[in-house]
């Protein structure tokens, strides 16, 4: 499109559009040592994730951790890798989610809204997708981190990377970020419906709501993540109509030696089995898409800990992924945050 009254030879300008940029954690490009090392180096160098002084942390990371961990992490990813598409399940599911959101955006707003996705770590990078959106005519971008509960190590670091990408744009688009949606009634409804569907309407002896972990120190510094997780679990229980004590809130993926948010999922499920609770279900409300933490850690290490301690029936309830109810929640959330722009 050439602007009205533009001089001869003026370059074409794309039509104005609004961008919706969906962000998830990230994924390695492959499972080999060097792909895993690049991914882990970017992830574990993030000061929002590991906030130790660089002079103390980087020698440990570059020496011991990145020498050994790519092998074990690569094996974990290989056990769940989507070999047909040659990508991680998180990438596959995120593509499916965004494809569904594009269809809904097209139906609601036509070509005025462009929907795309990026990863905080790995590819497609936030910077590359922001640049693509700006070149496509997006002079306003809504940024949606796919984390129901806010945490500095998830939502905030995704926003940080988005703002860093905007800093590199000569003509910077207007920007909005989406707030956490951990207590939205439609999100709780979608989560509860997935539990009911997976359990066939039965109430388990115990439902373990396993959230990704973080150092307890972050909570003491004011991070609201722990409180938001507790509220999600409470609202889920109330919506299901179950009595207190049926849903336990736990935390997984502990890293390092310091104390993290407790109880730890892997220890808690084993203790339940030892107490005679032999039938449990596990749901992961902090994850918008199944990934290595759910498909490998919960289905592998955590399931094994439960069964080794005497547990008999372990049911994993998948994340909301591209379930139509989840897509509708995200579409509504996007629509609310686009108010005044479309």
Q: Which residues are annotated as a binding site for Fe(2+)?
A: 212, 293
Nearest to 75 by CA among 336, 292, 328, 256: 292
Helix (H, G, I), strand (E, B) or coil at 336: helix
Which residues does the annotation place in the binding site? 212, 293
Tokens describing residue 190: 């979608």
User: Under a CB-based contact definition with an 8 Å cutoff, are residues 334 and 144 in contact?
Assistant: yes
Question: Rounded to whole angstroms, how far apart are CA atoms 297 and 255?
Answer: 13
What's the length of the chain? 342
How do strand 206-212 and strand 247-252 relate by DSSP bridges?
parallel
Residue 75 to residue 62: CA distance in whole angstroms: 20
- Compute CA 22 distance to the chain's CA centroid, rounded to the nearest angstrom: 10
Residues 6+ apart with CB under 8 A from 327: 97, 100, 101, 104
């Amino acid at each position: 499109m050439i602007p009205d009254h533009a001089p001869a030879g003026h370059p074409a300008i794309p039509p104005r559009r609004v961008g919706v940029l969906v962000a998830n954690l990230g994924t390695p490009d492959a499972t080999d040592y060097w792909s895993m090392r690049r991914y882990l180096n970017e992830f574990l160098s993030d000061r929002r994730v590991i906030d130790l002084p660089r002079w103390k942390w980087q020698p440990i990371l570059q020496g011991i951790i990145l020498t050994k961990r790519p092998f074990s992490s690569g094996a974990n990813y290989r056990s769940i890798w989507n070999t047909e598409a040659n990508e991680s399940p998180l990438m596959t599911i995120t593509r499916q989610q965004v494809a569904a959101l594009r269809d809904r955006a097209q139906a609601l707003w036509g070509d005025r809204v462009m929907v795309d996705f990026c990863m905080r770590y790995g590819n497609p990078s936030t910077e590359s997708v922001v640049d693509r959106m700006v070149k496509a005519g997006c002079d306003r971008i809504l940024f949606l981190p796919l984390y129901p509960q806010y945490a500095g190590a998830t939502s905030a670091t995704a926003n940080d990377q988005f703002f860093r990408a905007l800093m590199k744009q000569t003509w910077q688009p207007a920007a909005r970020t989406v707030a956490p949606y951990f207590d939205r009634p439609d999100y709780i409804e979608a989560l509860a419906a997935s539990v009911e569907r997976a359990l066939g309407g039965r109430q388990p002896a115990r439902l373990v709501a396993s959230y990704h972990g973080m150092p307890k120190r972050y909570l003491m510094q004011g991070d609201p993540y722990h409180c938001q997780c507790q509220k999600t679990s409470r609202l889920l229980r109330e919506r299901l109509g179950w009595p207190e004590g049926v849903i336990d809130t736990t935390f997984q993926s502990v890293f390092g030696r310091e104390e993290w948010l407790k109880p730890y999922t892997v220890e808690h499920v084993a203790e339940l089995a030892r107490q005679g609770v032999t039938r449990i279900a596990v749901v992961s409300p902090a994850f918008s898409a199944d990934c290595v933490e759910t498909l490998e850690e919960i289905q592998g290490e955590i399931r094994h800990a439960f069964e080794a301690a005497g547990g008999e029936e372990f049911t994993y309830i998948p994340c909301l992924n591209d379930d139509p109810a989840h897509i509708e929640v995200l579409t509504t959330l996007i629509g609310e945050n686009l108010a005044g722009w479309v």
